[in-house]
């Protein structure tokens, strides 16, 4: 409070102005020496970072670099371990979302959570409803003001529509409009364009520029180079919890930013590629997911790592889930080692040697309230039982063995999986398949949310498996990972395989651009993607 | 919120705290026990314990079925009515169709099992929420129970009918033995068989279980079939104890069973809970009812006290668990 000569009131605007005159407060916010760690692992290391009022800073960095931790600290969802945070010159004492909100900070998370069954205007006013003098809802006023609010941004939409009928893009724009009308001065946009089409992105850009002209400051995280150069005044790159680059946008270029993000040669994490044999391990023939969806066919060879590239939401996960039988498919056939397996029979597929590590390990991979032992033995339960009875010692021995093979750090197999770190959870999801002689391992975003150390361990596990002749199908949005690991990459767009990038081509410069071009269906190269979602 | 005790290798302050935490319900039960023993000399007698157990048996069976259902993240509201329809079917067959009481009893159990199967199929195959499905079955089964008796109780059961619940083995009546057998078998099933683990997996995270190759539909159907089977068994035992087939038999029992499971530490969202916990929950409710009866507390106050104590017991458990995190 010492920087602000006036006591804070609920009225943001009146409280804002006096603070603006102080020298510190030309900054919309400022982090001074901020440290944060989770479970002993440092995520942010003495970060000094400020945002000038009325400017846009692009915040870039790989997965786990600390981007969202910074956003969460500013928006009050996380408390830093040490260091100071000023918002409009006021030091944050209380780290609480309500407090940040009061100070004028609004966050637009990557995954929005609207109320799907309430109408658009109800969504806009939830939490600060307009009331009549009898204390009942003043719906007419809310309707009118919602229309005005959206009009400002040139959005013409029936505000009486239920929110679930509104596209993701519009939902996001409505969310931003909402924040701007309650007087937010600092907007934190977490990868706002990751699920938008090009036209929708243009609309968002217009809106952002309009807000900027009104003096709103913004932090913008993205992995699209084009956007950084188009929108931002400054760019900050985080790497392993430290600031790797902090420059005005005109003093830097895409190459600088990419180098700062990755910070090392791509090859470092990846070994040289082995040559797969000509033996087909898995054949997917004319698989269709719905009546109208395209036919999917591909083969996986012995010892091959077959990559699946594409934008988020392109349908890669859906294809793989249909192959594994956890998602319904209409027709087509799945052949493992020359033997056709009935579609949709997960148990048979597992028996024949297929294994699947899903993208969302908490949602679809693990039973968090059960032990490493229980989770580990679930996929091949039959092999640990006699007539349905579990063989306790045999099971512990088997699980201990596979967990040791992936170097799992736990207090023993009885530890609950929910209490393990992200990287170790991922090792459990992976290792539990190794109790059986697997033929084809399907990995969906195996390193998402996993720190660099565990990531290289996961890569070396993959290499070890491939060396024994196991084939790997790899879905990854992390370009260096996809290119570095795969022998061959299939690119998916709108649920269809639209191209293939062969081994030789992958090693050349420009492979990334080619994959992106196929994935986005464009011929321009200005929206280069790097890093990951 | 695991209540099952784990052997402690070393005895330290921490272990003692741990033991207390893990066995909150045991201690609460002990306190209630000591209280009633001091208040009334009739409470802590062998005869009274027998009475508690025999009263607990029909509840115990449906609470066991309910435990498995709740572990999958579901609920079975229909067990009370299934008791009625099973008892009525058995009584009808015994009075009108056959002299053989065992055939009649089997028919009763079969009717319960079929009702459970219908629940399971609707829930697992048609994806109708368990709450809605079993609420429907609660009404429908009750209707059938009245239909079988033409709206009245079935009387004139053979004398032998009483034998089902009153035969003694090793000094215990059959229902008590069936109850203990049920607890032991299901405790082993849940701890030591793949079926048990798959129930936990289905309730803990259904999509993860499916990716690991668990046929979750089969698991869901099995738990409702088992719940129906146990309700049928419970119905036959109850009708034997009253030697008739009243169509409102077992009405409201589902709530007592659910209470026992929840007091035992199971989570209504599935994946967490134990058979041992249900056993303790059941004992808590039954001891309380019996003790208050002995102290001649009026029925309406009994209800209030039970309600308050049930919520308090679970609250204490929840607070201690939160502190230990």
* B119, pLDDT greater than 90: yes
Q: Which residues pair with A285 in a beta bridge?
A: A333
Contacts of A49 (CB under 8 A, 6+ apart): A30, A31, A34, A70, A236, A243, A246
* A397, pLDDT greater than 90: yes
Whether A15 maps to a domain, the answer reads no
pLDDT mean across residues, chain A: 82
* A197, pLDDT greater than 70: no
Which position has the token pair 């790497």?
A239
> Comparing A504 with A461, which gets the higher pLDDT?
A461
* B10, pLDDT greater than 60: no
What are the start-end ranges of the E strands in A88-151? 90-91, 105-108
Domain boundary among A150, A181, A212: A181
Q: Are residues A448 and A405 in the same domain?
A: no
Which position has the token pair 């314990």?
B49
Show the domain range for A529. 266-353+439-533
Q: Are residues A521 and A466 in the same domain?
A: yes
CB contact under 8 A, A370 and B212: no
Contacts with B, A 322-351, CB within 8 Å = 324, 326, 346-347, 349-350
Q: What are phi and psi of A385, to 5 degrees?
A: -125, 155
* A29, pLDDT greater than 80: yes
CB contact under 8 A, A368 and B192: no
- Which chain A residues are within 8 Å of B215, Cβ to Cβ? 347
CB contact under 8 A, B192 and A374: no
Domain boundary among A161, A181, A201: A181
Question: How do residues A293-330 score in pLDDT, each as one tens digit?
Answer: 889 999 999 999 999 988 777 888 899 999 998 888 88
Q: What residue of A is the nearest CA neighbor of B197?
A: A374
Mean pLDDT calculated for residue range A216-244: 85
Q: Are residues A370 and A292 in the same domain?
A: no
Whether A337 maps to a domain, the answer reads yes
Tokens of B51: 């009475």
Q: Are strands A354-357 and B168-169 parallel, antiparallel or unpaired?
A: unpaired
Question: Quick one: angle between helices B299-324 and B13-22, nearest 10?
Answer: 140
- Which chain A residues are within 8 Å of B192, Cβ to Cβ? 389-390, 392
Q: Which residues pair with A131 in a beta bridge?
A: A137
Give the whole-angstrom CA distance, residue A107 versus residue B259: 42
Q: What is the pLDDT, as a whole number, of residue A449?
A: 64
- The beta-carbon neighbor of B271 closest among A346, A367, A381 is A367
Q: What is the pLDDT, as a whole number, of residue A5?
A: 38
Tokens of A397: 């021995």
Nearest Cα neighbor of A284 from A319, A245, A312 is A319
Q: What residue of A is the nearest CA neighbor of B211?
A: A326
Tokens of B297: 């507390």
Residue pair B317/B265 in contact (Cβ under 8 Å)? The answer is: yes
Q: Are residues A464 and A483 in the same domain?
A: yes
Whole-angstrom CA distances from A278 to A32, A198, A273, A303, A304 are 58, 41, 16, 9, 10
* B110, pLDDT greater than 50: yes
Lowest mean pLDDT among A139-153, A506-520, B102-116: A506-520
Question: How do residues A233-274 score in pLDDT, each as one tens digit?
Answer: 999 998 888 898 888 988 888 778 877 877 654 446 677 777
pLDDT mean across residues, chain B: 89
Whether A503 maps to a domain, the answer reads yes
Side-chain-side CA neighbours of A177 within 13 Å: the count stands at 27
Q: What residue of B is the nearest CA neighbor of A350?
A: B213
Q: What is the pLDDT, as a whole number, of residue A6?
A: 38
Residue pair A512/A483 in contact (Cβ under 8 Å)? The answer is: yes
Question: How do residues A166-187 score in pLDDT, each as one tens digit?
Answer: 877 788 888 888 887 777 889 9
Q: What is the pLDDT, as a whole number, of residue A451?
A: 58
Mean pLDDT calculated for residue range A59-83: 85
Lowest mean pLDDT among A53-57, A226-230, A321-325, A345-349: A226-230
* A23, pLDDT greater than 60: no
Nearest Cα neighbor of A222 from A255, A188, A248, A199 is A188
Tokens of A171: 């939902």
Best residue in A381, A419, A432 to probe B by mutation, most B CBs within 10 Å? A381
* B139, pLDDT greater than 70: yes
Domain boundary among A436, A459, A491: A436
Q: Are residues A275 and A335 in the same domain?
A: yes
Mean pLDDT calculated for residue range B70-89: 96
Whether A304 maps to a domain, the answer reads yes
Q: Which residues pair with A492 in a beta bridge?
A: A497
Whether A49 maps to a domain, the answer reads no
Count of domains for chain A: 3
Q: Are residues A347 and A472 in the same domain?
A: yes
* Burial track A166-195 (b if 16+ CB lie within 10 A, e otherwise): bebbbbbbbbbbbbbbeebbbbbbbbbbbb
- The beta-carbon neighbor of A370 closest among B194, B204, B215 is B204
Q: Residue count of chain B, please give it.
A: 325
Q: Are residues A417 and A476 in the same domain?
A: no
Q: Are residues A459 and A532 in the same domain?
A: yes
Q: Are residues A424 and A452 in the same domain?
A: no
Quick one: B11 exposed, middle or buried, by C-beta within 10 A (0-12, 13-18, 19+)? exposed
- For residue A48, the tally of other CB atoms under 10 A from its CB is 12
Tokens of A487: 């022998």
Question: How do residues B183-239 score in pLDDT, each as one tens digit?
Answer: 999 999 999 999 999 999 999 999 899 999 999 999 999 999 999 999 999 999 999
Mean pLDDT calculated for residue range A9-28: 46
Q: What is the pLDDT, as a whole number, of residue A13?
A: 39
CB contact under 8 A, B201 and A392: no
Best residue in B189, B197, B321 to probe A by mutation, most A CBs within 10 Å? B197
Q: Are residues A432 and A463 in the same domain?
A: no
Q: Are residues A379 and A418 in the same domain?
A: yes
> Comparing A371 with A66, which gets the higher pLDDT?
A371
* Burial track A79-97 (b if 16+ CB lie within 10 A, e otherwise): ebeebebbbbbbebeebee
What CATH number has the domain bearing residue A345?
A: 3.40.50.300
Mean pLDDT calculated for residue range B169-175: 86
Q: Interface pTM (ipTM) of the complex?
A: 0.80
Q: What is the pLDDT, as a whole number, of residue B15?
A: 67
Whether A242 maps to a domain, the answer reads no
Question: How do residues A279-296 score in pLDDT, each as one tens digit?
Answer: 899 999 999 988 888 899
Listed by start position, the domains of chain B span: 48-253+268-273
Q: Are residues A413 and A375 in the same domain?
A: yes
């Amino acid at each position: 409070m010492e920087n602000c000569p006036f006591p804070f009131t609920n009225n943001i605007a009146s409280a804002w102005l006096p603070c603006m005159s102080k020298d510190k407060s030309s900054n919309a916010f400022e982090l001074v020496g901020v440290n944060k760690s989770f479970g002993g692992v440092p995520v942010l290391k003495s970060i000094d970072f400020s945002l000038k009022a009325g400017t846009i800073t692009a915040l870039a960095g790989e997965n786990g670099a600390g981007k969202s931790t910074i956003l969460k600290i500013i928006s009050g969802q996380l408390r830093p371990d040490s260091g100071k945070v000023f918002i409009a010159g006021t030091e944050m004492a209380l780290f609480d979302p309500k407090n940040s909100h009061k100070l004028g900070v609004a966050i637009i998370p990557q995954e929005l959570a609207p109320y799907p069954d309430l109408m658009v205007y109800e969504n806009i006013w939830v939490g600060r409803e307009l009331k009549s003098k009898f204390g009942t809802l003043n719906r007419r006023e809310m309707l009118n003001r919602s229309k005005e609010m959206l009009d400002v941004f040139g959005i013409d939409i029936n505000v009486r529509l239920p929110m679930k009928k509104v596209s993701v893009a519009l939902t996001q724009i409505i969310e931003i409009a909402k924040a701007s009308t309650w007087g937010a001065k600092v907007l934190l946009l977490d990868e706002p364009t990751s699920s938008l089409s090009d036209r929708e992105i243009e609309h968002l850009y217009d809106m952002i520029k309009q807000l900027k002209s009104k003096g709103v400051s913004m932090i913008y995280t993205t992995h699209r180079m084009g956007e950084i150069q188009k929108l931002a005044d400054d760019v900050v790159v985080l790497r392993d919890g430290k600031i790797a680059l902090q420059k005005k946008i005109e003093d830097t270029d895409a190459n600088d930013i990419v180098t700062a993000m990755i910070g090392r040669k791509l090859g470092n994490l990846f070994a040289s590629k082995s040559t797969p044999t000509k033996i087909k391990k898995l054949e997917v023939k004319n698989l269709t997911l719905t009546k109208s969806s395209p036919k999917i066919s591909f083969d996986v060879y012995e010892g091959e790592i077959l990559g699946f590239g594409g934008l988020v939401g392109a349908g890669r996960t859906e294809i793989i889930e249909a192959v594994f039988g956890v998602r319904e498919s209409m027709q087509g056939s799945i052949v493992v080692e020359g033997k056709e397996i009935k579609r949709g029979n997960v148990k048979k597929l597992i028996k024949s040697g297929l294994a699947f590590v899903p993208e969302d390990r908490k949602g679809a991979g693990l039973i968090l309230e059960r032990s490493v032992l229980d989770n580990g033995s679930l996929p091949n339960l039959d092999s640990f039982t006699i007539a349905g009875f579990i063989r306790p010692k045999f099971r512990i021995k088997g699980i201990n063995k596979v967990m040791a093979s992936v170097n799992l750090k736990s207090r023993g197999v009885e530890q609950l999986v929910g209490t393990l770190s992200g990287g170790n959870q991922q090792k459990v999801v992976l290792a539990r398949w190794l109790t059986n002689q697997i033929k084809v391992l399907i990995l969906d975003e195996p390193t998402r949310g996993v720190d660099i150390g565990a990531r290289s361990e996961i890569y070396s596990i993959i290499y070890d498996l491939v060396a024994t002749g196991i084939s790997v199908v790899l879905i990854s949005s992390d370009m260096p990972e996809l290119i570095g690991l795969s022998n061959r990459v299939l690119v998916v767009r709108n649920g269809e395989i639209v191209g293939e990038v062969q081994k030789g081509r992958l090693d050349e410069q420009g492979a990334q651009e080619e994959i992106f071009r196929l994935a986005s269906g464009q011929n321009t190269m200005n929206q280069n993607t790097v890093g990951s979602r | 919120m695991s209540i099952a005790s784990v052997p402690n290798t070393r005895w330290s302050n921490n272990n003692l705290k741990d033991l207390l935490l893990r066995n909150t319900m045991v201690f609460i039960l002990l306190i209630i026990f000591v209280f009633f023993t001091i208040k009334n000399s009739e409470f802590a007698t062998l005869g009274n314990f027998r009475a508690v157990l025999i009263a607990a048996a029909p509840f115990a069976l449906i609470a066991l079925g309910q435990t498995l259902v709740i572990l999958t993240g579901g609920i079975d509201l229909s067990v009370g009515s299934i008791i009625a329809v099973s008892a009525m079917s058995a009584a009808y067959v015994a009075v009108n169709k056959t002299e053989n009481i065992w055939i009649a009893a089997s028919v009763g159990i079969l009717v319960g099992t079929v009702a459970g199967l219908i629940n399971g199929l609707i829930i697992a195959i048609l994806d109708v929420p368990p709450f809605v499905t079993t609420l429907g079955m609660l009404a429908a089964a009750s209707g059938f129970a009245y239909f079988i008796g033409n709206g009245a109780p079935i009387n004139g059961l053979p004398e032998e009918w009483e034998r089902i619940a009153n035969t003694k083995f090793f000094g215990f009546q059959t229902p008590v033995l069936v109850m203990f057998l049920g607890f032991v078998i299901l405790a082993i099933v849940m701890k030591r068989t793949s079926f048990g683990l798959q129930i936990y997996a289905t309730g803990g995270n259904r999509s993860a279980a499916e990716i690991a190759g668990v046929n979750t539909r089969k698991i869901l159907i099995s738990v409702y079939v088992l719940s129906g089977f146990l309700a049928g068994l419970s119905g036959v035992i109850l009708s034997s104890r009253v030697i008739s087939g009243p169509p409102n038999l077992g009405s409201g029992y589902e709530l007592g069973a659910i209470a026992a499971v929840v007091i035992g530490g199971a989570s209504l969202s599935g994946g967490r809970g134990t058979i041992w916990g249900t056993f303790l929950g059941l004992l808590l409710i039954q001891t309380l009812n019996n003790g208050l009866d002995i102290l001649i507390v009026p029925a309406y106050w009994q209800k209030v006290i039970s309600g308050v104590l049930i919520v308090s017991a679970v609250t204490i458990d929840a607070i201690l668990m939160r502190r230990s995190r």
